[in-house]
Structure 1
Amino acid sequence: MPWATGWKPLILAAAMTLSPAASALAEEGKPSLDDLLAERLAEQELTLRAFYAARDGRPAWQEAATVAALANALRTLDADGLSPQDYRPDTLVAAHRQALAEQSPPAAQARFDLQTSQTLLTALRHLQRGKVDPYRIDPGWEVPIEAPPLDLAAISQAVDARRFEQAFAAARPSVAPYERLRASLARYRHIARQGGWPMMPPRPRSLRPGELHDDVPLLRERLAILGELEVMARVSDAPASQVTDPRRYDERLVAAVERFQQRHLLEVDGIVGPATREALNVPVATRIDQIRVNLERARWLLHGLPDSFVLVDIAGYRIRYYRPDGGVWRSRIVVGRPYRRTPSLRSRITHLTINPTWTVPPTILREDVLPRVRRNLGYLWQQDLMVLSPSGRRLDPRDVNWWRPGNVILRQRAGPQNALGRVVLRFPNDHLVYLHDTPAQALFAREQRAFSSGCIRVQGVLELAQYLFDDTGTAAQVSTLVAAGRTRNVHLERPVPVILHYWTVHPDEAGQLVFRPDIYQRDSALLAALDALPAG
């Protein structure tokens, strides 16, 4: 039975149900609160009607203590990165007092009851699905939000028991990454209340291990605030023979800097150069905003996840395959450049192409390949590119006017130097992106890897391909198929879900936050929408 259809009998029953006191008032010809609620509910949205159906039409906010408990609970939503003022908790108690005043008509009480219930349901939806509609700020968004329906009966019980923390906990994503982001938000806010951290002064040259410099004590203080325990021991606590100049950039501090670099996707070399100094100087308020933005992204995604799926972490340059047996395969990826962004989407891997050819996409042909061919026709032979007519007939490159080539097709033959490597993992999407192998293996050694034209290059993709075959009951051996040299498609016996998502902050396997550069400049628009007051 569809959810909406299933609630209709309850809604009708609630609209027709009157308490004994309400019935008495009705007999006297005076409209009761229950009458007015039932009348006004017909004009309300479905979830609000279903909420009152779960209560048999009873009002929810007659007791001052219940309203005060809700106001206090709404103030705690800042722990999830939401803005409590969006839900106007400071006006609830006064509005309740005014609605239930002796001279206040039942219509005012009904209006207050409905508005307060709507406030609670809105807060719960924001906790569960996010406040911001991702389609509004990202026209290319293709990830459906698959949060389950709110348990309205349980919410009604929580209202009666004044246990709003239970309702909030049931609504928010109940997964470890979300809880770690919440805990980190509290921690960074504590740092902000303590005055934040010191700024490193700009310097023309890098600070290198072993050097003496006046910046070193400041660097040590800066990392101590982040909780790097190894750098918090005081020099005076060490034996006299081990005391070093506090301006010495020693091994202990170098190790702390390397951990900092690793958690900010910087080159891990222990050198405090411009990029590391810039990351050290990001204000704590900015880090708090980053965490809030990514809590919102987590509310969009971290519901209804399948037991087994491939997760592409775009800004983190990582891929994980959560296998049916509970194991997790992890690797590095290369994603799209800032001007050729890898999209966020949700799809299913349906088949693999072994020993693929590569047909140059129109955008890459126009913007990348044609300028090179015009400078040097030999580029086609260097890259093993065939020139084809729209019908697939082979053309002589020397007979083509490369300034006006028309609808020619450039196709790279299969082989170890093919741009797609040996294997492509394909899934339906409107952006024509896919996961694939690459001959450019050296790029995987970089910490920041936004070098592709939108598709995702995967380190060790042949191993991932074999896992997909094994886990879906697909009788195929990647190594054998590759060695055969023939281009062919192999369909999986069962499609495997794949999610491409964008986080600029996310906990690593140890639970530590990793801050990533906002390579696609998406954080500011989301933050502005998150902080905007809701309509009405």
Structure 2
Amino acid sequence: MPLAKGLKTLILSLMLFLPSWGFANERDSAVADALAAQLLGEEIILQNFYAARQGRPAWQEIDTVAGFAAALSGLEADGLNSQDYWPDALVAGYRKLYSMESTPADGASFDLQISRILLAALHHLQRGKVDPYSVDPSWEVPIDAPSLDLAAISQAVDAQRFEQAFTLARPSAAPYERLRAGLARYRHIERQGGWPMLPARQQSLRPGDVHDDVLLLRERLAIIGELEVMAADLFTDTEPEVLDPRRYDDPLAGAVRRFQKRHLLETDGIIGPQTRAALNVPVAERIDQIRVNLERARWLLHGLPDSFVLVDIAGYRVSYFRPDGEIWRSRIVVGQPYRRTPSLRSAITHLTVNPTWTVPPTIRREDILPRVRRDPGYLARRNMSVLSPSGRRLDPWQIDWWNPGNVILRQGPGPNNALGQVVLRFPNNHLVYLHDTPSQGLFAREQRAFSSGCIRVQGILELAQLLFDDTGTPARIASLIARGKTRNISLARPVPVILHYWTVQAGQDGELVFRPDIYQRDAALLAALDRPLAW
């Protein structure tokens, strides 16, 4: 018999013979005996929960059952659906059980069912309700949540402190709490009636314009706190200047630019089609967007190292959390919607300086070959060599580019190399990495999904030197580049890297930043999150 199975059987066998003085009454002792028998075929976490209780039943008192049923409504604050956990049926089930001639086995079955619900709720709070692999087949981020403290949870149940049990499970990271606070705020806005919609217009609304839409715009921005009354207007002794509320004035333009910044729109103050569409997203959709990202937070915000690189795909940002507590941040360019940057967790192991670029098969087939067929001189201008599968250099003018076979295209190092001057490499199944780029102008855009899946980093040379310094790697990035040779430099210590997809981010000030769902992932996750549980 395997050791783990033998130990489990021993624990359950001992529970059959626990002394009756450990229970509140004779019936609880009988229920405990029935529990021990029924637990033999249950999941290990359920067995461990009752082992932490020395075999005592948990749900034999109406006050405990009713308190738990009421506490389940609090899961709405985490973006979960409290009805998934049958709160209305719990008290009714208890009363039905004890209004008939129930046996200890019936009581044990009832106890187990509520404990299943408790442990499911805790699991969903800690690790998410939805399996990320079910909505993203390319998912590569292990959910590194710690084991639940079942002894502390058992004590919270006995004390009827169910919110305390929930707190033990949910992520303790500040971003999660900010998202919860944002959800509460937007639900309050929904209860107050939401916000007005701006009518569809072909013509943009610009600062200085006078229009009826400005009244709606003022109301819309005031509801979410972007437009505030100036303090000077509240305390002045003079009569306030009479202004036309239909005029699109400077304070309103400033509020619009703040709104645009929080929604990754061009911050020009102009109410064009994209800004109008973002303003007109109903509050209910924003609530669902927050709920979806709370679920993503439950997947990720556990077991984070003290120092790591975090790639925020939908936010087009990279952050390096340094060992000294400082945070280095920069802009990035990510994969286009049809060449998505994947979610994954790995570790940066080495850097390539003055890299060559071997063109991936998809880019070769879809991007490079059509250009070479039109103009064979394209390869020379791009400093690209043609190689056989064995690495032998081939003459590009002797190749039938309509049927080139398994030739390899490789771009030499230099200022125009697609990877720029340095690449940060980490093992993964998608052949993606962080790299420099000669196309620096793209970083000026607010929405930057232009790559073929890899991540282009603005200021990556500074990041590379920080990685050298923080890992004790004796290297100077500027000197290595100046030598002009392609070279791999291993870090003295790997640095964890996480690539993750968020469409809502909570800032340090608590304000929420909403991002376009560039990869159209929110809908599938929301549908899975709202799918009723089967018990």
* TM-score for both structures, normalised by structure 1: 0.95
Report the 3-state secondary structure (helix = DSSP H, G, I; strand = E; otherwise coil) of the residue aligned with 2:494. Answer: strand
Amino acid of the residue matched to residue 400 of structure 2? Answer: N
Partners of 1:273 and 1:217 lie apart in 2 by 17
| Structure-2 change in CA distance of 1:21 and 1:415 (3 Å) | closer
Deviation at 1:188, TM superposition (A): 0.6
Greater CA drift, 373-382 or 31-40:
31-40
2:521 corresponding residue in structure 1: 522
Deviation at 1:136, TM superposition (A): 0.9
Deviation at 1:508, TM superposition (A): 2.2
Partners of 1:349 and 1:462 lie apart in 2 by 15
1:429 corresponding residue in structure 2: 428
| Structure-2 change in CA distance of 1:418 and 1:12 (3 Å) | farther
Deviation at 1:509, TM superposition (A): 3.2
Find the partner of 1:40 among 22, 27, 38: 38
2:316 corresponding residue in structure 1: 317
5 Å-filtered alignment, 1:330-409, equals: 330-409=329-408
1:50 corresponding residue in structure 2: 48
Report the 3-state secondary structure (helix = DSSP H, G, I; strand = E; otherwise coil) of the residue aligned with 1:256. Answer: helix
Partners of 1:5 and 1:31 lie apart in 2 by 25
Deviation at 1:381, TM superposition (A): 1.7
1:125 corresponding residue in structure 2: 123
Q: Contact 1:212/1:249 (CA < 8 Å) preserved in 2?
A: yes
1:297 corresponding residue in structure 2: 296
5 Å-filtered alignment, 1:60-79, equals: 60-79=58-77
Partners of 1:15 and 1:423 lie apart in 2 by 65
Q: Per-residue CA shift, 1:133-168, capped at 9, x if unaligned?
A: 001111100000000011000010001000011110
| Structure-2 change in CA distance of 1:236 and 1:353 (3 Å) | closer
Amino acid of the residue matched to residue 19 of structure 1? Answer: S
Partners of 1:182 and 1:363 lie apart in 2 by 41
Amino acid of the residue matched to residue 360 of structure 1? Answer: V
1:83 matches 2:81 = yes
5 Å-filtered alignment, 1:84-233, equals: 84-101=82-99, 103-230=101-228
Partners of 2:253 and 2:4 lie apart in 1 by 58
Q: Contact 1:443/1:449 (CA < 8 Å) preserved in 2?
A: yes
| Structure-2 change in CA distance of 1:185 and 1:7 (3 Å) | farther
1:495 matches 2:497 = no
1:483 corresponding residue in structure 2: 482
Partners of 1:64 and 1:110 lie apart in 2 by 15
Greater CA drift, 370-379 or 353-362:
370-379
Deviation at 1:382, TM superposition (A): 2.0
Q: Contact 2:352/2:425 (CA < 8 Å) preserved in 1?
A: yes
Aligned residues: 532
Q: Per-residue CA shift, 1:206-226, capped at 9, x if unaligned?
A: 111111111111100000000
Q: Per-residue CA shift, 1:347-373, capped at 9, x if unaligned?
A: 010000000000000000000000111
Greater CA drift, 102-111 or 478-487:
102-111
Report the 3-state secondary structure (helix = DSSP H, G, I; strand = E; otherwise coil) of the residue aligned with 1:514. Answer: strand
1:279 corresponding residue in structure 2: 278
| Structure-2 change in CA distance of 1:123 and 1:376 (3 Å) | same
1:13 corresponding residue in structure 2: 14
Q: Contact 1:11/1:52 (CA < 8 Å) preserved in 2?
A: no
Amino acid of the residue matched to residue 388 of structure 2? Answer: S
Q: Contact 2:23/2:56 (CA < 8 Å) preserved in 1?
A: no
Partners of 2:250 and 2:25 lie apart in 1 by 83
Amino acid of the residue matched to residue 433 of structure 1? Answer: V
Deviation at 1:37, TM superposition (A): 0.4
Identity of aligned residues (%): 69
Q: Per-residue CA shift, 1:434-475, capped at 9, x if unaligned?
A: 000000000000000000000000000011111111111111
1:416 corresponding residue in structure 2: 415
Greater CA drift, 370-379 or 252-261:
370-379
Q: Per-residue CA shift, 1:36-68, capped at 9, x if unaligned?
A: 101001111000000000000000011110001
Deviation at 1:243, TM superposition (A): 2.3
| Structure-2 change in CA distance of 1:119 and 1:392 (3 Å) | same
Q: Per-residue CA shift, 1:238-264, capped at 9, x if unaligned?
A: 855632211110000000000000000
Deviation at 1:233, TM superposition (A): 8.3
Greater CA drift, 381-390 or 215-224:
381-390
Q: Contact 2:233/2:240 (CA < 8 Å) preserved in 1?
A: no
Partners of 2:235 and 2:197 lie apart in 1 by 26
Deviation at 1:396, TM superposition (A): 1.2
Partners of 2:493 and 2:144 lie apart in 1 by 21
Amino acid of the residue matched to residue 402 of structure 1? Answer: W
Partners of 1:249 and 1:5 lie apart in 2 by 76
Deviation at 1:24, TM superposition (A): 11
1:467 matches 2:460 = no
Deviation at 1:6, TM superposition (A): 7.9
Deviation at 1:13, TM superposition (A): 3.4
| Structure-2 change in CA distance of 1:8 and 1:455 (3 Å) | farther
Query: Please, what is the CA RMSD of the aligned residues?
Result: 2.2
Q: Contact 2:20/2:29 (CA < 8 Å) preserved in 1?
A: no
| Structure-2 change in CA distance of 1:380 and 1:231 (3 Å) | farther
Report the 3-state secondary structure (helix = DSSP H, G, I; strand = E; otherwise coil) of the residue aligned with 2:197. Answer: coil
Deviation at 1:8, TM superposition (A): 6.8
Q: Per-residue CA shift, 1:87-111, capped at 9, x if unaligned?
A: 0000100111122335112221110
| Structure-2 change in CA distance of 1:4 and 1:357 (3 Å) | farther
Report the 3-state secondary structure (helix = DSSP H, G, I; strand = E; otherwise coil) of the residue aligned with 2:15. Answer: helix
| Structure-2 change in CA distance of 1:267 and 1:7 (3 Å) | farther
Structure 2 residue runs of 5 or longer lacking an equivalent are none
Deviation at 1:383, TM superposition (A): 1.2
Q: Contact 2:209/2:247 (CA < 8 Å) preserved in 1?
A: yes
Q: Per-residue CA shift, 1:366-404, capped at 9, x if unaligned?
A: 000001111111211221111111111111111000000
Partners of 2:518 and 2:11 lie apart in 1 by 49
